[in-house]
Amino acid sequence: MPALLPADGRLLVVGAGLAALRLCQEVRRLGFVGEVVVLGREPHRPYDRPPLSKHVLLPGPGDAPGPSPAGSVSDLAADGTGLDDLGVDVRTGTRALALDPLARRVTTTTGTTGTTGTTGTGTTGEERYDALVVASGAEPVLLRGDGPQHAVRTWEDAVALRARLVPGARVVVVGAGWIGAEVATAALAHGADVTCLEAGPAPAWAAVGEAVARRVLTPLWRDVRLRTGTRVDRVVDEGVLLADGALVPADVVVVGVGVRPTVGWLRGSGVPLGAGVLVDEHLRSGADGVLAVGDAAERWSPRWRRRLRAEHWEEASTGPAVAARVLLDGPEGTPAHDPVPYVWSDQHGARVQLVGLPADDAGVVWREHVDGSPTATWLSRDGRLLAVLTVDRPREAAQARRAVGRAPDRATLADPATPLHRA
């Protein structure tokens, strides 16, 4: 199959986050000299989101927030090649409204949008393309109710929340996943009184299963009033109303119950949508000339024989290299994008790293380290290593990246003295 994008063609990228930045870097690296237009609904050029919860929220030097991402592409995003250097036309404050894939046209409006709404009046326009890459990311799921709630997805979100994290503030975090843990960590560092309401039995249980979450993650939450098995009904002015009718009073409510891909603008376009844009292992959607990368994509994984929505930094960072090659060289000869999923989280003074995709608790093999937290590993029924969860063991996490997919000896795997990739 030939290239999807002619050498003098027009590439349109919707979304101006990490995945968009990487895509632009890659097409230029591969020698594409045609026009590249990036539409971003935030008022900023691409910036990195992990520092929002890991740095911006924390008390810092002079107690001031970190550097503004406004106007900076490369400062926060990796290897220093900014979009200006790449000759990319970045239209911040411009939102894609709808797609007509037959006419290869995207309708747009100006006026910036963040997690908390749209500002500015819109002027509508149209952008034509030869190839379109959907990089519109994801946005936080919010709770019902009229009371004020914070989420952390954008720079503005983080700055607004940080201003509310003051000593003694009653901060209620809803959701004990990766983001909830980092928000709770930051709130504690400001001297706030932190409660976390979690519907499941343990922190991040949906990602790692109940048994591992209880053993590895729950102990990290010792400084937080962690209320598991607690269902939230809605946010009210006084705090959070639970499903059983009880009120949990709060000065600040932060929601961390997950994200959903920002693909509403594609509804009705005919582009196949599942939880995100449905794409194959080359990140192609069913629509001609339309690819999707990063948090917006739900991709087919030959390795795991299922669809995946990774929602992680590394996914958004690495998928665009494959998309760029597919655009410029075609899929034949381009390796599939099918990495082992990886996520890290800095929480409660520890670095948690999850490599791979955990299965059910039955396949868990523990590595009992004498100094500190045990490492959990998961084996499939046919003995392949599926995933590894470590706490403060970066070397073991690096080994895990080489080991996932192999069939280790079970007894050796359980021996913490043996490197994971040698088990």
Q: Name the residues that contact ligand FAD, by CB under 6 A.
A: 14-20, 39-42, 49-50, 52-53, 95-96, 135-138, 152-153, 179, 262, 265, 294-296, 311-314, 316, 343-345
Are the C-beta atoms of 357 and 301 separated by less than 8 Å?
no
Distance CA 374, CA 360 (A): 18
* Pick 19 or 248: Cβ nearer ligand FAD: 19
Q: Which long-range contacts (CB under 8 A, 24 or more apart) does 333-340 make?
A: 334/282, 336/281, 336/282, 336/302, 337/281, 337/282, 337/283, 337/299, 338/281, 338/301, 338/302, 338/303, 339/314, 339/315, 340/303, 340/401, 340/404, 340/405
Q: Residue 335 corresponds to which tokens in the numbers above?
A: 């390796």
Shortest CB 369 distance to ligand FAD, Å: 23
Which are the contacts of 395, defined by CB distance < 8 A and separation ≥ 6? none
Distance CA 232, CA 224 (A): 18
* Pick 250 or 292: Cβ nearer ligand FAD: 292
Shortest CB 375 distance to ligand FAD, Å: 19
Shortest CB 165 distance to ligand FAD, Å: 14
Q: Report which of 338, 339, 301, 295 is spatially closest to residue 20, judged by C-alpha positions.
A: 295
CA dihedral sign, ordered 155, 156, 158, 159? positive
* Pick 239 or 344: Cβ nearer ligand FAD: 344
* Pick 133 or 197: Cβ nearer ligand FAD: 133
Shortest CB 392 distance to ligand FAD, Å: 15
Taking 3-state DSSP, the helix, strand and coil percentages for the chain, each rounded to the nearest 5, stand at: 25, 30, 45
Shortest CB 378 distance to ligand FAD, Å: 19
Within 10 angstroms of residue 310's Cβ, the number of other Cβ atoms is: 22
* Pick 51 or 272: Cβ nearer ligand FAD: 51
Q: Residue 43 corresponds to which tokens in the numbers above?
A: 């008022």
Shortest CB 243 distance to ligand FAD, Å: 27
* Pick 300 or 313: Cβ nearer ligand FAD: 313
Shortest CB 96 distance to ligand FAD, Å: 4
* Pick 192 or 323: Cβ nearer ligand FAD: 323
Distance CA 96, CA 110 (A): 9
Within 10 angstroms of residue 416's Cβ, the number of other Cβ atoms is: 17
